[in-house]
Chains A and B, each alone.
Chain A
Amino acid sequence: MKRLFRDYGTRRLLVIICIACTAFMFYGPVWGIDSPGLSLRIYGDENYPDLKFPLGQPVKVIMVIKNDTDFDINAERGFSKLEPHRHLVLFAPDGTQHVLGANVMSGDAPPPFFLGNRATVPAEKLPGGWVKSETIVDLTELFPVMKDTVGLYTLETHMPFMRLVFTINNEQLGLLGILDSEDPNVAGQNWEGTLDSNKLQIEIELADTQQGAHLKVQVLDQSYQPSHAINQVPVRVYDSTAIAGLTPSEVWANGPGFAVLTGLTNEQGWAVWDKDLCRLERGYTAIAYYQQEYRSVLFSPGEDGWSPDCAGVIEKTIHFGQIPDKIIYVSGSAYNFPEDTVYKASFAMDVSTENGSPSGWLKYHYTRTRMNFVSTAISEVTGTGTQAGFKGTGTVNGLAGYTFEADVIDDNPDKFGITIKDSAGSTYYSNALRQIEAGELKVIIQTAAEACEGDFDGDGDVDGKDTAVFVSNYGKTNCTEQSPCQGNYDGDDDVDNDDFSVFIKDFGKVDCPQ
Chain B
Amino acid sequence: MKRFIALSFGIVCLLILVGFSDACLVGPEAEITYLETKLGEESWQYDYVFTNTSKPGCCAGFNLYEVDFSFDEAVILKSYNLPAGWDMVAGAGFANTFSIMIGIPPIGADISPGTSLSGFDFLFSAQVGNLPFQAFFTDPYGGDPILFEGTSVPVPLPSTILLLASGAIGLGLIGRKKINK
Contacts and interface: CB of A to CB of B under 8 A. Distances in A.
A343 B145 contact: yes
Most buried by A among B89, B90, B93, B100: B89
Interface in B62-100: 65-66, 68, 70, 87, 89-94, 96, 98, 100
B65 A370 contact: yes
Taking chain B's interface residues, is the majority helix, strand, or loop, or is none over half, making it mixed?
A: strand
Contacts of B66: 367
B179 to A, nearest CB: 63
A357 B147 CA distance: 42
A438 B147 CA distance: 19
A429 to B, nearest CB: 16
A397 interface: yes
A398 B98 CA distance: 15
Q: How large is the interface on A (under 10, 10 to 19, 20 to 34, 35 or more residues)?
A: 20 to 34
Contact of A368 (B70, B93, B144): B144
Contact of B68 (A334, A344, A347, A363): A344
Taking chain A's interface residues, is the majority helix, strand, or loop, or is none over half, making it mixed?
A: strand
Contacts of B68: 344, 346
A372 B145 contact: no
B94 A439 contact: yes
Contacts of B147: 342
A401 interface: no
A463 interface: no
Given A342-B147, A348-B89, A372-B87, A438 B100 contact: no
Contacts of A365: 87, 89, 96, 98, 100
Interface string A429-461: 000000000111000000000000000000000
B92 A438 contact: yes
B168 to A, nearest CB: 47
A333 B89 contact: yes
Contact of A344 (B65, B90, B96, B144): B96
Contacts of B89: 333, 335, 346-348, 363, 365
Contacts of B91: 332-335, 348, 438-440
Contacts of A372: 87, 98, 100
Contacts of A439: 91-94
Contacts, number: 58
A487 B44 CA distance: 33
B90 A367 contact: no
A332 B93 CA distance: 13
A418 to B, nearest CB: 13
A475 to B, nearest CB: 30
Nearest to B93: A438
Contacts of B169: none
Contacts of B94: 335, 438-439
B160 to A, nearest CB: 35
A335 B147 CA distance: 17
Most buried by B among A333, A343, A363, A440: A333
Closest 9 CB pairs between A and B? A439-B91, A333-B91, A346-B89, A346-B96, A348-B89, A438-B94, A372-B100, A440-B92, A438-B93
Interface of B: 65-66, 68, 70, 87, 89-94, 96, 98, 100, 102, 136, 144-145, 147
Given A335-B89, A346-B96, A439-B93, 10 more contacts: A333-B89, A335-B91, A342-B147, A346-B68, A346-B89, A367-B98, A370-B65, A372-B98, A372-B100, A439-B92
